[in-house]
Structure 1
Amino acid sequence: MSTTSSPAREGRLTRPRRETAPESKGSAAPDALTIGRRLRHVRTEAGRTLGDVAEQVGMSPSALSLIETGKREPRLSVLTALAETLDTPLADLLTTAPPTRRASLEIRLERAQRAESYQQLGLPAVKIGPRLPMEALEALVGMHEAMAAVQAERAATPEHARLANAELRERMRAADNYFGEIEDAAGELLAAIKHPGGPISRASVDRLAGHLGYQLVHISDLPGSTRTVTDMRNKRVYLPQPEAGQHDSRSLALQALGHLVLGHEVPESYADFLSQRVEINYFAAALLIPERDAVAQLQQAKKDKDIAIEDLRDAFAVSYETAAHRFTNLATHHLGIPVHFMRISRDGVIYKAYENDGVNFPTDASGAIEGQRVCREWTARQVFLQPDLSQAYQQYTDTRTGTYWCTAVVDRTHDGLFAVNVGVRYQDVKWMRGRETTSRSKSRCPDPGCCAEPPAALSHRWEGQAWPSARAHSHLLAAMPPGVFPGVDDTEVYDFLDRHAPA
């Protein structure tokens, strides 16, 4: 399998690359703006008026004007009639290239002024027409594109990060969190090393790296800003020395190899960086819990009405969170079960989340979930109230969008306690182990009276008499670190590679 860079293909999360010169390449099909400008160009070149052409095709001049300005997308039958009236081939109206340099500039200005970012400024739009001087048109387009470039290049703010996360989650939901191309890549690698099935060992990971031409090297002085470092010149992947409480080195190694196998290029934005992180996590999980073996186990468990995340965890020797993530990859595609997943802190703040079962996660104004606080009545928060935090906890929760059954476990980390939660709709609980639980709760969120506000009696006793010092979630407030790979110190990495490169 090739380890060189390649464009993102169907079934991947990576976003399409941006074109640096919008006028140099057309899209696969013309948009309404381009069609409109070409139509106006052909009409004026023929010396025809709006009223003349509109009357001949049986439409009003105002309707034709809307088509020429790109504000209305014409039906093919209308375009065919217009082409016949103007004595021009239909293909000339459907070409993706603007007819003139001025038309190209007008299209670019129109797109810039229609962009949501410009609309939010509340500024008036410049009227685009033949009376707008060419010099002014050039200057306006240049200004808009320069501002867009500055915005794209600056360090990502928490708002940009949350927006990128929200967009990424939409793409994951649209695919039911299943990406066949990544599954295929993982399957081909396992076949290449003749993996017999079941859990993948450290020795097998070493063989995978060797098959790709790389060597795994555990080292004690890995740069503090990195999880792994790949030396592409000398074909080495540097990993931290295994320590108590540290991430599974198999997963770290497979994630590093994932960048190579999936043909990742240097990320152009924080959104690209996030997409690549999700892809390599998926790739690592697809090797740690191979699709064929996992699906066979899950299908048998569904037949037995005994699906449990713990069984997936134990069968493949992975963490509960990895097993839960992998279940979300496979459950809808192979079992027909929509699901939701959460990782939250003890105080209820969402760190990771995914859903395609209609559960209503709390969101901010941008649609982002990360950083929001989930209802106290949800299973993911109720698990922290159990006397034995080592046991999984199941609960039914009535919400505004339906009743959900969830199972949650507490994950102890150096950063505190977190809950990992997997849930399904009430109609799908018949397949799950733990469905016999009698624990039930009701959530009225986002109604403030559910859990966002204290009970009236408690509030009456203490309102105005308490002044807590809040623990700020700085990771949600600070600007994202600048750089191609956010937060990584390039000098530190290059010094490290200099020290360890073979003589």
Structure 2
Amino acid sequence: MALSPAEDLDDEGMLDPLTVGRRIRQLRTDRGMTLDALAAELGRAPSQVSVIENGKRELKLGELQKLARILGVTLDELLSPEPPSKRAALEIALERVQRGPLYASLGLPAVPARKTLSDEAIQTILGLHDELRRLHEERAATPEEARRANVELRAEQRKKGNHFEELETIARDLLEAVGHRGGPLSQRVAADLATHLGFTLHYVGDLPETTRSVTDHANGRIYLPVRQATGGDPRSALLQALAAHVLGKQEPRDYADLLRQRVETNYLAGALLIPEASAVTFLKAAKDARELSVEDLRDAFAVTYETAAHRFTNLATEHLGIPVHFLKVHASGAISKAYENDGALFPTDVLGAVEGQIVCRYWSARQVFAVEDRFSPYHQYTDKPTGTYWCTSSIQGTASGSFSVSVGTPFAHVKWFRGRDTVRRQTSRCPDPTCCRQPDSALAARWSDKAWPSARLNSSLLAAMPSGTFTGVDLTEVYEFLDAHAPE
């Protein structure tokens, strides 16, 4: 049964240009028609037809209909999802492999599918690629599972503009229940939320090292540390514990569940610290004045810069119509957290994960570390392969080291932000390795055989994830702690 044009779709809901292109080539050669002859009939240059046959350009419906008439087939036949021959199927598979991130990461030259390249040679290349993929995935199965789950979750956040209406509603109802009328959330009101939800607060000096808080549902207690982490917010751990309770979170079943729990509890905690209604009023006024600023949002609601930056991404697209990206980057250049819905091209591994990847040294997230003034906000334009972006960055000190936190937007939207008049500008060609990852030839020639740096390995590089629990929490220590602190 022939498929209609609407049914000939690939996984992303688009016509597959590779299969269509190979079918056009097969039909042309079956009819003894040269590339020049088809180009003349179609009214195109031969080079343009070659691009079509190689699957490097999608065709409009009118072009497809004209090609079908020239080649003497129906449109359904032209758009059949099945490769036109066994050889074509091999060539399509080879082309897809070479366009993929795993092949690109190898730095190997492309292998053209010429007639002189035998079927056996293509099958060998495909087999080697499949085995390389298998070895890559087996090398660290547990981290791979976490990265895959993170990629899927980030795609969902992007689709929603990082705005979760159901969590905003829960936050609004909780704040109304304790009489909060807007503006910053005081520590007293945070404690009132705990009381409203049936908990008493207990600050202790012996909280288990693997925890930020411990909730005792049997006795209605929440245990929190007496001393806060460097650069932390004393309300955050409490609000995250309350959020987990309100959302009914249990021990996560797998890494996907763990990551979703963290995203949702962090989101709800942020929505309590920076209530939506107050924040949107504040941000819309700032946009009207063309004075949007993460620093102002931070100061208006008395939160950390990172919380303000996160919350800005929740509200900017939904309420201001501004696409944005967010980055938290360690001083080493490695990405800790990332989000984008503005087309910013983050570095990724072969699975599509960005966490742990190294940011281009010319991006604002790296350039800010070279500035001595760490009090003033840092603004920069960066010309990237996908366009020009403006970013604002700030450095945050933590117990794990220094991190830059950045919020950026495409050039078309920078008119709404304070700091748009900056003269700082950099050019980034990443992911082209010659941009900043490879030293220039003269420098490499001078030092390549005269230096041996001793790498500072991450402590988790060779370690397996903790067994028994996905979170890494020491349950024996937690249960002993609860026994010691439970009321008699």
Specify if TM > 0.5.
yes
Preserved CA contact (<8 Å) 2:205 2:227: no
Matches within 5 A, 1:234-273: 234-243=219-228, 245=230, 247-273=232-258
Distance (Å, rounded) in 2 between the aligned partners of 1:386 and 1:428: 25
Preserved CA contact (<8 Å) 2:184 2:302: yes
Matches within 5 A, 1:195-206: 195-206=180-191
SS of 1:474's partner is coil
Q: Deviations over 1:114-143 (max 9, x none)?
A: xxxxx9679xxxxxxxxxxxxxxxxxxxxx
Distance (Å, rounded) in 1 between the aligned partners of 2:165 and 2:417: 25
Q: Shift of the alpha carbon at 1:246?
A: 5.6
Moved more, 206-215 or 454-463: 454-463
What is the letter of the counterpart of residue 456 of structure 1?
S
Q: Deviations over 1:25-70 (max 9, x none)?
A: xxxxxxxxxxxxxxxxxxxxxxxxxxxxxxxxxxxxxx9xxxxxxx
Preserved CA contact (<8 Å) 1:158 1:478: no
Q: Shift of the alpha carbon at 1:444?
A: 0.5
Distance (Å, rounded) in 2 between the aligned partners of 1:328 and 1:482: 35
Q: Shift of the alpha carbon at 1:217?
A: 1.2
Equivalent in the alignment of 2:53: none
Q: Shift of the alpha carbon at 1:200?
A: 0.8
Distance (Å, rounded) in 2 between the aligned partners of 1:246 and 1:220: 18
Identity percentage of aligned residues? 57
Q: Shift of the alpha carbon at 1:425?
A: 0.5
Equivalent in the alignment of 1:414: 399
Equivalent in the alignment of 1:356: 341
Distance (Å, rounded) in 1 between the aligned partners of 2:347 and 2:231: 31
Preserved CA contact (<8 Å) 1:156 1:480: no
Alignment of 1:376 with 2:356, yes or no, is: no
Preserved CA contact (<8 Å) 1:379 1:397: yes
Distance (Å, rounded) in 2 between the aligned partners of 1:393 and 1:457: 33
Match of 1:277 among 242, 245, 262: 262
Distance (Å, rounded) in 2 between the aligned partners of 1:379 and 1:357: 16
Preserved CA contact (<8 Å) 2:224 2:238: yes
Q: Shift of the alpha carbon at 1:201?
A: 1.0
Q: Shift of the alpha carbon at 1:480?
A: 2.0
SS of 1:247's partner is coil
Distance (Å, rounded) in 2 between the aligned partners of 1:451 and 1:477: 27
Alignment of 1:188 with 2:173, yes or no, is: yes
Equivalent in the alignment of 1:318: 303
Preserved CA contact (<8 Å) 1:156 1:482: no
SS of 1:187's partner is helix
Preserved CA contact (<8 Å) 2:153 2:260: yes
Equivalent in the alignment of 1:344: 329
Q: Deviations over 1:143-179 (max 9, x none)?
A: xxxxxxxx9xxx9722222222111111111111000
Q: Shift of the alpha carbon at 1:266?
A: 2.6
Matches within 5 A, 1:484-503: 484-503=469-488
Q: Shift of the alpha carbon at 1:244?
A: 6.5
Preserved CA contact (<8 Å) 1:225 1:488: yes
Flag the structure with more relative contact order, 1 or 2, with Cα contacts below 8 A and sequence separation at least 6: 1
Aligned-CA RMSD value:
1.9
Alignment of 1:397 with 2:360, yes or no, is: no
Preserved CA contact (<8 Å) 1:156 1:479: no
Alignment of 1:291 with 2:276, yes or no, is: yes
Q: Deviations over 1:179-205 (max 9, x none)?
A: 011110010000000102111111101
Gaps of 5+ in 2: 1-79, 81-128, 133-137
Match of 1:309 among 286, 291, 294: 294
Aligned length: 355
Q: What's the TM-score, normalizing by structure 2?
A: 0.70
Distance (Å, rounded) in 2 between the aligned partners of 1:384 and 1:347: 10
Q: Shift of the alpha carbon at 1:385?
A: 1.3
Preserved CA contact (<8 Å) 2:429 2:435: yes
Distance (Å, rounded) in 2 between the aligned partners of 1:323 and 1:222: 28
Q: What's the TM-score, normalizing by structure 1?
A: 0.68
Gaps of 5+ in 1: 1-62, 64-118, 123-150
